[in-house]
Structure 1
């Protein structure tokens, strides 16, 4: 029996002669091109909030294989240039692909003759075109992306793009489960662009950290270790392998019937 999928149902060579494999775009054993139908290893929420001088963005370090917390050291914040950073949720392999094409773009920008570099707003426009192009080919990149940083005139910039190429901007944004649990908390900072001027870095960073703690307790696909970045005119301050403080799961070992507790 021929166990290769491309050979199923074809005429027998010993009766009808050798089969014509020229219809295959690759070698005989590779079969036809296939598209990803659903994500396999995924990262969860990305959170971000503007303040008067910049943007705070954060994502935990977990990559889940289905419901299994498989990889606990996956960094989902990616710097681009001096004043832009991306937070990527969704499929990890597609995230690595996006990171690779952005690295190539960054190299081209640095060695370009114009002397101009992409800011966060330009980068978001570029990514929206990439995501929409893949969507139109019915082979989307299974990611939700937040682009944070400064625009061309040094103002705080925050916007999102998803696997359909749909874009959205707001003073606070969240992807994944965070759009349900964290976004209502973050909106207490600022609901309109005019209110951003009253938000300090300390308030924005505290709100994002508190929202991460809520997600750790409520989202089964999250972790208590995370990366957080602050983008201002001075540059990008990226802190990786941060640990949530004030966890209260310790109460479980005092519950009768939990683990070895019997009394």
Structure 2
């Protein structure tokens, strides 16, 4: 998705997300229907390429497109850079207010509900994936421009999203370990970067667990995918 206007920086990009498990036991075959609806897990892996565009020009090669929201959630964006920055600020402000008033962490489900409501009220010009961990486990949510929200076991979006989905569909296993999910996410971003001209210039890999949000960047997705 790219709703940016002339002269506006755009993240026509590849973003992916996968629900995973910190369990060290090898994951088994995917049960029938496991790819539909939310999946059990206690971690979420989010990944993106690092390219931003201004029209037909590559305006940046080191953009971080996955942003933490507190210490238990993160959002990956595609679309308007300014819109993404505004939505991050709005969500983080709402999270802080919620936690100040209630004295407890905002759940990933509540954060997703607020994000959907915010998108219905204001045209941010972005698509995004929200990953978070709370008392009910790990969650990955997808959104559309109208503000609908769906829980998913894995997802991809952006101009490179259709290319990434092929890799995710072939490699996803319900309950897969975090290291497996990180390699799969890296392969999906790499595959999309080969075909989508708006994606490229490396990898940002973010893992959300109960211990916090860990973000790493790589010049080449192969550093993780292999």
What TM-score, normalized to structure 1? 0.69
CA 1:107 to 1:168, structure 2 compared with 1: closer, same or farther past 3 Å?
A: closer
1:48 aligns with 2:17: yes
Structure with higher Rg: it is: 1
Q: Equivalent residues in 2 for 1:55-94 (5 A)?
A: 55-94=44-83
Q: 1:103 to 1:149 in 2, by over 3 A?
A: closer
Say which of 86, 91, 98 aligns to 2:87. Answer: 98
2:39 — aligned with what? none
1:74 alignment partner, SS class: coil
Q: What SS does the aligned partner of 2:97 have? A: helix
Aligned pair count reads 198
The two structures, once aligned, show a CA RMSD in angstroms of 2.0
CA distance in 2, matches of 1:186, 1:126: 28
Residue number among 161, 168, 172 corresponding to 1:179 in the alignment:
161
- Which residue, 107, 110, 116 being the options, matches 1:119? 107
Match of 1:157 in 2: 139
Helix, strand or coil at the partner of 2:132: strand
**Other structure's SS at 1:144 match:** strand
Task: State which of 196, 220, 223 in structure 2 corresponds to 1:244.
Answer: 220
Structure 1 position 106, deviation (Å): 3.6
1:82-110: per-residue Cα shift (whole Å, max 9, x none)?
A: 21111111011111111221232243245
- When structure 1 is superposed on structure 2, of 203-212 and 181-190 the one drifting more is 181-190
Q: CA 1:107–1:196 in 2, change beyond 3 Å: closer, same or farther?
A: same
Encode CA deviations 1:154-206: one digit per residue, 9 max, x unaligned: x110011122212222211011133311112112344xxxx522x11121111
Query: What 5-or-longer segments of structure 1 have no aligned partner?
Result: 1-36, 135-139, 248-263
1:107-150 deviations in Å (ceiling 9; x for gaps) = 3245x14211212221111000010122xxxxx22100100021
Q: How much does 1:56 deviate?
A: 0.6
| Structure possessing the higher relative contact order (Cα contacts under 8 Å, 6 or more residues apart) | 2
CA 133–245 in structure 1, closer or farther in 2 if over 3 Å, else same? closer
Q: Distance in 2 between matches of 1:181 and 1:215?
A: 5
Q: How far apart in 2 are the matches of 1:69 and 1:106? A: 33
Q: Which runs of 5+ in 2 are unaligned?
A: 22-41
